[in-house]
C-alpha cells in the first residue's frame, strides 16, 4: 500500500504527499511538490529533519549506534579489510575479489605521484601556514594540473579523477608536512601498501631506509577505514552541493576539505587534543566540566556529542581499542593524555548533563591520541581525516552525478529583512 502524509494548511485545505521508504531507516515525506501546490516552503535550518538525497552508500542508526558501509558493519570492515578494500566497496558497492583488489590496488599505487610542478605550488605558502589551509589550496589546484579528467559527463574521466584523488591525497598531505618541517619531499614508493607509503612519505628521509612498523601501519589504516564515509555530514553535503552545479571533482573535494576544517566537524580531533593539553591534569577535570555545563562559557567538551549518534559512536569504541594497541606497541601505556582522556570519559558519561543530552564520545575523542602517538603533529590531524574521507566524498559525488533525479542544490529561505523600499539619493540621506 502506498503510504501518504497529509498536511493541513491554515485555511483548512488538506494536501497529500507520498511517503517514501528506504531499505532500512526512517521513511521520508516527499515534499518536492509542496511549494508548487501551496506556495509555502519548509523551514529546517541545519537539516534536522531533511533527507537531502537518496543514497546506497552509508547507513547510520544513531539511536542504536550502528554504522554500515554498503550494508557491512564498520566493526567487521575494521577487522577483516584494509583501507583500499573499503575504498573499493564504497566506490563500487561490493567488496572486491582477490583479483579485483589486486587491480584496484595497482591502479591506486600508479597514481600516487603528483605533477612535478605541484612541488612549486607549495613554496608559495608560508612554512608556518596551517596545513589545512595548504591542503585546501593544493587540492583545489589539482584541477589546474589534470585537465584531461575534468569532463564530469564522461564516466571514464570521473573514474580517473576518483583514482587520482584517492591516490594523491596521501602524497599531498605528506608534502604539506614536509614543507612545514623543511625536509625534502619524499616520492611515493610503489612496493609499499597505501598506508605504509603514507607513513614513509611523512616520516622517511632520503638519507636512510624507512622501515614501517606493521602495528602502526594497521592502526593508521584503521583510522582511515573509520573515517572513510559518514553519510550526509556537513563536508559530504558540501561536496554534493558544490558538485551539483557541475563543478569538477577536484574543486568539489577542496570545498569538502574547507568544510571539514571547522572544529564542530573534522577539526574536533585537533581541538580535542588541545583541550586535553589545557586541562593538563585529572585533578582539573571537575573544574573543566563545570565550565562545559555553563552555557555562558562557550566551552564544549570536544570529542563528545554528535548530531546523529545519540548512543555510543561505534567508531569511538574501535578507536579506543586502536589507541590501546598503539600505546602498548610504543611502550606509552602510561601516556599522560590517554590516561586523562580515560578519566574524562568516565566522569562525563556518568554525569547527568551528558546523560540527559545523550552525549557520548565520538570518533575524534581518541583519534587525536592515536595520531599523536604515531608522531603526527596536532595541526595535521584534520588533514589525515580529509585524506581518509576523500573516498567517501568522491563516492557520494559519483553517486550524485549518476542519479537521474540530481538537480542543482538550491535551498530557499524565510526572508526577515526589510520589505521593498525606495532608494533616497545620497544628497537626501
Ligand atoms: N559539550 C557540551 N555540551 C554539548 C556538547 C559538547 N560537546 N555537544 C552538545 N552539547 C549540548 C548543547 O549545548 C545542547 O544543550 P542544550 O540542549 O542544553 O542547549 C545539546 O547538547 C544539543 O547540542 P546541539 O549543539 O544542538 O547538537 P548538534 O547536533 O547541533 O551538535 C555537535 C552536534 C557534534 C556539533 C556537538 O555535539 C559538538 O559541538 N560537539 C563537540 C565537537 C565535536 O566533537 N565534533 C565532532 C563530531 S564527530 C566527527 C565529525 O563528524 O566530524
Which one of the listed residues 221, 230, 306, 335 is annotated catalytic? 306
- In this structure, the dihedral spanned by the alpha carbons of residues 329, 330, 336 and 339, taken in order and rounded to 10 degrees, is 0
DSSP state of 229: -
Pocket lining: 251 vs ligand 1, CB cutoff 6 Å = no
* 326 CB-near residues (< 8 Å, 6+ apart): 215, 216, 219, 332, 370, 373, 374
Sign of CA dihedral 48, 49, 50, 55: positive
Pocket lining: 264 vs ligand 1, CB cutoff 6 Å = yes
H/E stretch holding 15: strand 14-20
- In this structure, the dihedral spanned by the alpha carbons of residues 280, 285, 286 and 287, taken in order and rounded to 10 degrees, is 40
pLDDT above 80 for 226: yes
Ligand 1 centre distance from Cα of residue 307 (Å): 7
* 148 noted as active-site residue: no
Structure confidence at residue 10 (pLDDT): 87
Q: What pairs with residue 304 in β-bridges? A: 361
- Which residue, among 166, 210, 165, 215, has the nearest Cα to 187 in the 3D structure? 210
Structure confidence at residue 368 (pLDDT): 87
What tens digit of pLDDT does each residue of 169-209 get?
Answer: 999 999 999 999 999 999 999 999 999 999 999 999 999 99
Pocket lining: 265 vs ligand 1, CB cutoff 6 Å = yes
* 306 noted as active-site residue: yes
pLDDT above 90 for 332: no
Q: Whose CA is nearest to atom 12 of ligand 1?
A: 357
What tens digit of pLDDT does each residue of 63-102 get?
Answer: 999 999 999 999 999 999 999 999 999 999 999 999 999 9
Which pTM value belongs to this model?
0.93
Confidence of residue 312 (pLDDT cuts 50, 70, 90): confident
pLDDT mean over 385-403: 97
- Which residue, among 65, 53, 34, has the nearest Cα to 244 in the 3D structure? 53
> Across the chain, which distance is largest between two alpha carbons, in Å?
79
- Which residue, among 178, 181, 177, 224, has the nearest Cα to 318 in the 3D structure? 224
Ligand 1 centre distance from Cα of residue 86 (Å): 29
pLDDT mean over 129-140: 96
Amino acid at each position: 500500500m502506498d503510504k501518504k502524509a497529509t498536511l493541513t494548511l491554515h485555511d483548512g485545505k488538506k494536501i497529500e504527499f507520498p511517503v517514501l521508504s528506504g531499505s532500512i531507516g526512517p521513511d521520508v515525506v516527499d515534499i518536492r511538490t509542496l511549494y508548487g501546490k501551496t506556495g509555502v516552503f519548509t523551514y529546517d535550518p541545519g537539516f534536522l529533519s531533511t533527507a537531502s538525497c537518496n543514497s546506497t552508500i552509508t547507513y547510520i542508526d544513531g539511536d542504536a549506534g550502528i554504522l554500515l558501509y554498503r550494508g557491512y558493519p564498520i566493526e567487521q570492515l575494521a577487522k577483516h579489510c584494509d583501507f583500499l578494500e573499503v575504498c573499493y566497496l564504497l566506490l563500487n558497492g561490493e567488496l572486491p575479489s582477490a583479483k579485483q583488489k589486486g587491480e584496484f590496488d595497482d591502479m591506486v599505487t600508479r597514481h600516487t605521484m603528483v605533477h612535478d610542478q605541484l612541488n612549486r605550488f607549495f613554496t608559495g605558502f608560508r612554512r608556518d601556514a596551517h596545513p589545512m589551509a595548504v591542503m585546501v589550496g593544493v587540492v583545489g589546484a589539482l584541477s589546474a594540473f589534470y585537465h584531461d579528467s575534468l569532463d564530469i559527463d564522461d564516466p571514464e574521466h570521473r573514474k580517473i579523477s576518483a583514482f587520482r584523488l584517492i591516490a594523491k591525497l596521501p602524497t599531498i598531505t605528506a608534502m604539506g608536512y614536509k614543507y612545514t618541517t623543511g625536509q625534502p619531499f619524499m616520492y611515493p614508493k610503489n612496493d609499499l601498501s597505501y598506508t605504509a607509503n603514507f607513513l614513509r612519505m611523512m616520516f622517511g628521509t632520503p638519507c636512510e631506509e624507512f622501515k614501517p612498523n606493521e602495528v602502526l601501519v594497521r592502526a593508521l589504516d584503521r583510522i582511515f577505514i573509520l573515517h572513510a564515509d559518514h553519510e550526509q555530514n556537513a563536508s559530504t553535503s558540501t561536496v554534493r552541493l558544490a558538485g551539483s552545479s557541475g563543478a569538477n571533482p577536484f574543486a568539489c573535494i577542496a570545498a569538502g576539505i574547507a568544510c571539514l576544517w571547522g572544529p564542530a566537524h573534522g577539526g574536533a580531533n585537533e581541538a580535542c587534543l588541545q583541550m586535553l593539553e589545557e586541562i593538563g591534569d585529572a585533578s582539573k577535570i571537575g573544574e573543566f566540566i563545570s565550565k562545559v555545563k555553563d552555557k555562558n562559557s562557550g566551552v564544549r567538551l570536544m570529542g563528545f556529542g554528535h548530531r546523529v549518534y545519540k548512543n555510543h559512536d561505534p567508531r569511538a569504541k574501535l578507536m579506543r581499542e586502536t589507541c590501546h594497541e598503539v600505546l602498548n606497541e610504543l611502550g606509552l601505556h602510561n601516556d599522560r593524555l590517554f590516561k586523562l582522556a580515560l578519566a574524562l570519559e568516565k566522569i562525563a558519561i556518568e554525569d547527568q548533563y551528558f546523560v540527559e543530552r545523550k552525549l557520548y564520545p565520538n570518533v575524534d575523542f581518541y583519534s587525536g591520541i592515536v595520531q599523536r602517538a604515531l608522531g603526527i603533529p596536532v595541526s595535521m590531524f584534520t588533514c589525515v581525516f580529509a585524506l581518509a574521507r576523500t573516498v567517501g566524498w568522491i563516492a557520494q559525488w559519483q553517486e550524485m552525478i549518476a542519479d537521474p533525479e540530481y538537480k542543482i542544490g538550491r535551498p530557499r529561505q524565510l526572508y526577515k529583512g526589510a520589505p521593498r523600499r525606495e532608494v533616497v539619493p545620497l544628497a537626501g540621506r
